[in-house]
Amino acid sequence: ENVAFAGLNIYPNSTSGDVTMIFNNSNKDLTIEVTNTLGQVVSNTRTNSSVNTISLPETKGVYFVKVVNAANDSETFKIVKQ
C-alpha cells in the first residue's frame, strides 16, 4: 500500500452510481483521474477537499480511479459500475 494514500477510503465498490473518496490524512492538491478499460480519460478533477464525489459514466463496466498528490505519488483503484 502506498503510504501517501494510507488514509484514503473509496466506496461503494461496486456501485450503480457515484463513488465517494474520503482522505483521512493531509493530502492536498490532488488530481483524480477516471479512465475506462480502453485507457480513455472520462473525467479529470483537481481538488483540495477531504471528501470528493466521483461521477462515473452511465455505461456499466470497470473504471480505474487514479489519485495523484502534489509530490507526484499516485495510486489507482479499480471500481465496478453495475
Q: Are 77 and 48 in contact (CB under 8 A)?
A: no
User: Which pTM does this prediction carry?
Assistant: 0.89
Residue 61 Rama label (left phi>0; alpha psi -120 to 50; beta): left
pLDDT of residue 26: 65
Q: Mean pLDDT, consecutive 10-residue segments, the chain of 82 residues?
A: 78 94 79 96 93 93 94 93 95
pLDDT of residue 1: 55
Residue appearing with cell numbers 493530502: 27
pLDDT of residue 13: 94
